[in-house]
Structure 1
Amino acid sequence: MSEVDEESKQVSYTVVRDENGNVKLDCPAIGKQFAAEEISAQVLRKLVDDASKFLNDKVTKAVVTVPAYFNGSQRTATKDAGLEVLRIINEPTAASLAYGFERKNNETILFFDLGGGTFDVSVLEAGDGVFEVLSTSGVTHLGGDDFNKRVVDWLAASFKKDEGIDLLKDKQALQRLTETTEKAKMELSTLTQENIRYMNRNKFMVLIY
């Protein structure tokens, strides 16, 4: 739980600590709490089912990629998510391996991975089917979710100034604001300007100019 103390304050659902200090996600709709590994297991099972249908064959084992910054306990939790994991590979390393596969020339590869929650970098040397990872590292708070949070905080501060209401303390309003912010950010991939206007604490309208 100590590893996600800051992140737990930014999500619209409730994150709690169990008796062992691990993360549990509270689901009041069904009166149950789920461990992070249980959620991962459900996602992996869905991926396995989809792969099995596509291949028309049963999938029982997998190689799983994880962010470069994952520590030992997080990697162990990934292995415990309900599938026989043959190996865990850093995400930027896996992408570099895919890029260098069957390349004959010796190359030094610098791979950047700017994802939803992290920024990972790996440096590899590749040649004749042999790969050597020279270095790999990552930043846990430099990704799309962090960009979203900066905009959400700014909008919430503006709303509080105008209306006197702190949206960050309202789980439902925070969820709606986060969804609207992410939509606006994606629109900026093709537009030069995006306006977000709020109608009330539970409804935000995206206007494009």
Structure 2
Amino acid sequence: MRILIVEDDPMLGDGLRRGLQLLDYAVDWFSTAAEADHALELAGYDAVVLDLGLPGEDGMALLARWRARGCRIPVIVLTARDAIESRICGLDAGADDYLVKPIALDELAARLRAVTRRAVGMSSPVWKHGALEFHPARRQAFWAGAPVELTSREAMLLELLLAHPNRLLTRDFLRDKLYDWQGGVESNALEVHIHHLRRKIHPRIVRTFRGAGYTLGAAEDCQ
């Protein structure tokens, strides 16, 4: 899951970025509305954590502009503005959640999981596909009832495939979701992760469309 943080406080912004990265999220952090706008044009984020008190352009106006142009990315407002009127305005402007600082990192991560599950129509806390069972909150997989030991990147990749079961996912799309701009990516890293998923779960858990991308294997082939 790739997250965009828009926060002008250097200590808080860096703390959120580092904290979410430790929880195995790909995270980019910017401090102005202009930078956030540009980042959204370049990367396919799964969710945005948005402060309202930004320099140059208020976060509320930025959110309203995103929604007006059809941007549907889940947005969690994280702000010091705790008045009821501010909460109402934020939600009416298109926020998917509204949180008041300070907040525990684990709660923010749980809120991010909730809004992203809703965004892909996967609101259940347990995802099932054939003999595979996946718990996105813990990034824990079970195959035929037995736990599967996955690395963080393998679990993130499996989550992406399960979240888009009927979609062909290109190599560029998957890399964009798995890695932020700070992380270096080896040229064959994605193929290595897919090889490991097939070895650890099932040879047909991932289908390859040569030259096009990958998709989740059919449930009946993964029994």
Common topology (TM > 0.5): no
More strand by share: 1
Structure showing greater radius of gyration is 1
The alignment's TM-score, normalised by the length of structure 1, stands at 0.35
The alignment's TM-score, normalised by the length of structure 2, stands at 0.33
